[in-house]
Structure 1
C-alpha cells in the first residue's frame, strides 16, 4: 500500500544477479518518497530455497549513501585487502564487499528488519560481479534507482 501523498514508481527496479550462480540475486523495487530528504524502497533477496523481502528500507539523501559505497568499490577495481561494509541508518540493509583474485567482488547483501525487536530474522545472499565495468554499472543503476533519474 502506498502512503497518502507519496510517489510510487512501479517501473523502477534494479536486479543484481550473481555471475557465478544466476538464481542468486538482489532486487531493489517499489521506490516511494515522502519528502526531498529521503527515499523508501523494498529489497528482495532470491536464492535457491530462499526468498526474503524488507518493504521499507530508507535511504537518506546525503554523502554516505549506498551509491557512494558502490562507486568507491568500482573505483577500487584493482582490489583491496579485507572486507568493506556499508549499512543503512536503521541497519535493516547491510552490504559487505570482498575482493578475490581474478578481479571479482563478492557483495553479501544482508536483510535484518527490525534489528532491535525480539524474534527478528535475518537473511543474506552473496553476488559475485566483475570488479570494473559490472561494479561501475551497478553503482550507476542504483544511483538512478534511488534518485528517480532516467539513465
Structure 2
C-alpha cells in the first residue's frame, strides 16, 4: 500500500487500492508542514469515471488522528457492528468504516472541501480491505506518512 519508492528524491505517498475493484482507490501525497503542530497533505480519490483531489488536508498533532482510527479498526479484525467514522477538524476528509462477513472492512473516503462556500462539492470512494493484515499495514503506512520527519 505504501509507495514511497526507492529513490531519495521520491516524495512519500500512501496508496490504498480496493480489494474488489483495483481501479478504485485513495492516495495520500504531497505532505508538508509549516510548524510542529500540523501536517498538511493532499488526498486523491479515483474510481472508474471519477477523480477528485483536495490539496491541503490538515492534521493537527492534538487531534485523534487517522492512523489511530485505522489502528483501532485493525485491532477489531474479527468485526464490529454498525458504522465507525473519523474526520479531520475541518471535515474536508471523512472516513467511515463497516465490516462485512468474510473478514473485510469497507472504508468510504469522502472529500468535501469548502463545506460552507458557494460551489462546494463532495466525492466519495469505498475501498474494501482485508480487516486484519491489510488494515494493519495501512495503519502503519499512514502513521509513517503523517509523522515522517517529525520528532
Instruction: Judge same fold: TM > 0.5, yes or no.
Output: yes
CA contact (8 A) 1:110 1:125 kept: yes
Contact 1:10/1:29, CA 8 A, preserved across alignment: no
Q: What is the match of residue 138 of structure 1?
A: 138
In structure 2, the partner of 1:56 is: 56
Q: How do 1:1-151 residues align onto structure 2 when only pairs under 5 Å count? A: 11-62=11-62, 64-148=64-148
Q: Which runs of 4+ in 1 moved over 4 A?
A: none
Aligned length: 141
SS in 2 for 1:139: helix
Give me the TM-score of the superposition, normalised by structure 1.
0.91
Secondary structure at 1:35 match in 2: coil
Q: TM-score, normalised by structure 2?
A: 0.91
Q: CA RMSD in A?
A: 1.1
Larger mean Cα displacement after TM superposition, 97-106 or 56-65: 56-65
Report Cα offsets for 1:58-117 as digits up to 9, x if no partner: 001135100110000000001000000000000000000000000000000000001111
Cα distance in 1 for residues equivalent to 2:15 and 2:51: 14
Q: Any stretches of 5+ residues in structure 2 without a counterpart?
A: 1-8
2: CA distance, partners of 1:100 / 1:14? 24
Residue ranges of structure 1 left out of the alignment (5+ in a row): 1-8
